[in-house]
Amino acid sequence: MNQILKAIELYDTTLRDGTQGEHINLSVQDKLLIAQKLDEFGIDYIEGGWPSSNPKDEEFFTKVRCLDFKHAKLCSFGSTARTVSTVENDPNLLGLLHAETPVITIFGKTWKDHSVKSLGISDEENAELIYRSVAFLKQKGREVFFDAEHFFDGYKDNCEFALKMLLSAVQAGASRIVLCDTNGGSLPHEVSDIVAHVLTVTGIPVGIHSHNDGDLAVANSIAAVIAGASHIQGTINGIGERCGNANLISIIPNIMLKLQRSFPSNLHLNQLTSLSKFVYEILNMPSNTRAPFVGKSAFAHKGGIHVSAIIKESSLYEHIDPKLVGNHQRVLVSELAGQSNIRYKAVELGIDLPEKSELIKNIVRHIKELEHEGYQFDGAEASFELLLHKELGNFQPFFEVLETKVHIESSKNAKNVDQAVLKVKVGEEIEHIAADGDGPVNALDKALRKALLHFYPEIKSIKLIDYKVRVLEEKRGTSAKVRVLIESSNGRDTWGTVGVSTNIIEASLLALQDSMNYHLFTLKASAPPVKIKSHQ
């Protein structure tokens, strides 16, 4: 019998093992949305939860019946029975049957120490417990996968015991044996040696379930596949207990693009980035910008030499074509940038740059000076775009802040109310505006809006969604320069702006001004721009 499946099966446990991670919380509705998405993507097996462990999982298994999966098979998860004599009445096994899933995954002890110390039973009793539990579920017409808990540690401790437990499950009719690195401490060469040995003694396809405690869960899963495993368990974005589970988002493209192996379904690899983002959104977690394959920075180029090379041939500095996984190439603007970055960026922003390289050289020099002062345009592309238009003579600010006063009030008992007073010039008119706020930056934001709303009603839709302050010269303590990064949104688009100063209020005001100017500029707002005196 061929123990190695031609295609590699994907088994997702985001909804069960993933939810055991710290700060991970999914409602029944969230779980249903993720299950639907996993099926659309092409995952083969979706582990929905542990039905007898909590009412939420029970509710999930009832409601999931209304979903019509195109390809995926639903699995419920639980342990073997508690004692041999009560297998047929075991509440956990009955709960699994009650969930009415076509596949049931049960885990059993395969590390002798755990069997002896935590269950307090003999080798024979443990083997019997596994056999009887699997056989009972098989008799009820279910496909049964056996998760061999702590298998790699158990194998290293007592190989004979560990293999005996596996064979018990095989003889009882399990169709997959899944080797679990439950404590996540194994190394890739150990995993491949052990998987290769297991394949010589079982007779059914072998799977891998890795945890990431040594930061090797993905490497261990790949090592297992190379050694002959044909079933991989993991979670989306690697969420899970402690340091997480094996990250399917990284495993899938490695298997498909590097090992050139296929999956049973018509997997939509170009939706990998959106699947990762979708799960982060549902979890209400910020996505990992440095995540391989799908992160915002995964194909972002900063160095000028890199950029001039990728313009000619992307593969010179990229391990795969980002489009294959639904991601895209980005070029960052920084002090490392050369003329190529600026040209690339201008094309991306739809700005026509003249061929004259003197102008581009000036722009690069100006950016380098600003970065030297502490500016950073990586997260502030709107400020960069304004700068480019300013250099090209296409943009003039829509307003000018002539004076700023901020009054900060702090007392133990009173609610903190700070006040900002601004003198703002729009066209030939000058506005004097005061506003109270919850903190000085909030007061400043409110005052600026109040001053401008009358001239530019378009700014009403702008919302400040993120505000970050970074101290640039830490050794200088409170007299140090600060960089303020602001993210704004109009409900449809988001944009980032930056301001730098030794005064946090001024840095914030610069970033706020850029944010409003950018919004008005993109809308091509029509009020008369201010006549600005030259700073030179």
Question: What residues line the site for Zn ion (CB under 5 A)?
Answer: 17
CB of 207 to Zn ion, least distance (A): 12
CB of 107 to Zn ion, least distance (A): 9
CB of 13 to Zn ion, least distance (A): 7
CB of 245 to Zn ion, least distance (A): 6
Query: Do the beta carbons of residue 259 and residue 248 sit within 8 Å?
Result: no
What's the angle, vertex CA 382, arms to CA 421 and CA 454, rounded to 5?
40
Beta strands in 121-263 (DSSP E): 143-149, 176-181, 206-210, 231-234
The 3 state secondary structure assigned to 28-69 is: HHHHHHHHHHHHHHCCCEEEEECCCCCHHHHHHHHHHHHCCC
Query: Do the beta carbons of residue 507 and residue 520 sit within 8 Å?
Result: no
Taking the least distance from each CB to Zn ion, the nearer of 11 and 399 is 11
CB of 183 to Zn ion, least distance (A): 10
Q: Show the tokens assigned to 51.
A: 């039905």
CB of 157 to Zn ion, least distance (A): 19
Q: Show the tokens assigned to 7.
A: 């295609």
Taking the least distance from each CB to Zn ion, the nearer of 17 and 445 is 17
Taking the least distance from each CB to Zn ion, the nearer of 17 and 39 is 17
Query: Do the beta carbons of residue 528 and residue 427 sit within 8 Å?
Result: yes
CB of 147 to Zn ion, least distance (A): 8
E strand or H helix at 400: strand 400-407
CB of 241 to Zn ion, least distance (A): 7
CA dist., res. 506 & res. 499, Å (int): 8
Q: Show the tokens assigned to 160.
A: 């004979």
Cβ atoms < 10 Å from Cβ of 520? 22
Taking the least distance from each CB to Zn ion, the nearer of 17 and 487 is 17
Taking the least distance from each CB to Zn ion, the nearer of 17 and 57 is 17
Among the listed residues 274, 287, 284, 151, the one whose alpha carbon sits nearest the alpha carbon of residue 207 = 151
The angle that helices 123-139 and 91-98 make with each other, rounded to 10 degrees, is 30
Taking the least distance from each CB to Zn ion, the nearer of 154 and 374 is 154
The angle that helices 504-522 and 381-391 make with each other, rounded to 10 degrees, is 70
Taking the least distance from each CB to Zn ion, the nearer of 17 and 44 is 17
The 3 state secondary structure assigned to 298-329 is: CCEECCHHHHHHHHHCHHHCCCCCHHHHCCCC
Report the residue number whose CB is nearest to Zn ion: 17
CB of 176 to Zn ion, least distance (A): 15
DSSP string, 434-495: EEEESSHHHHHHHHHHHHHHTT-GGGGG-EEEEEEEEES-GGGGGGS-EEEEEEEE-SS-EE
CB of 186 to Zn ion, least distance (A): 13
Cβ partners under 8 Å of residue 299, min gap 6: 318, 322, 327, 328, 329, 330
Taking the least distance from each CB to Zn ion, the nearer of 211 and 330 is 211
Query: Do the beta carbons of residue 520 and residue 496 sit within 8 Å?
Result: no
By DSSP bridging, strand 429-437 and strand 418-426 are antiparallel
Taking the least distance from each CB to Zn ion, the nearer of 246 and 424 is 246
CB of 233 to Zn ion, least distance (A): 8
Which ranges constitute the DSSP H helices of 392-439? none
Residues found in the chain: 536
CB of 78 to Zn ion, least distance (A): 13
Taking the least distance from each CB to Zn ion, the nearer of 182 and 488 is 182
CB of 19 to Zn ion, least distance (A): 11
Taking the least distance from each CB to Zn ion, the nearer of 208 and 516 is 208
By DSSP bridging, strand 206-210 and strand 176-181 are parallel
Cβ partners under 8 Å of residue 27, min gap 6: 56
Taking the least distance from each CB to Zn ion, the nearer of 180 and 282 is 180
80 DSSP 8-state letter: P
Taking the least distance from each CB to Zn ion, the nearer of 209 and 345 is 209
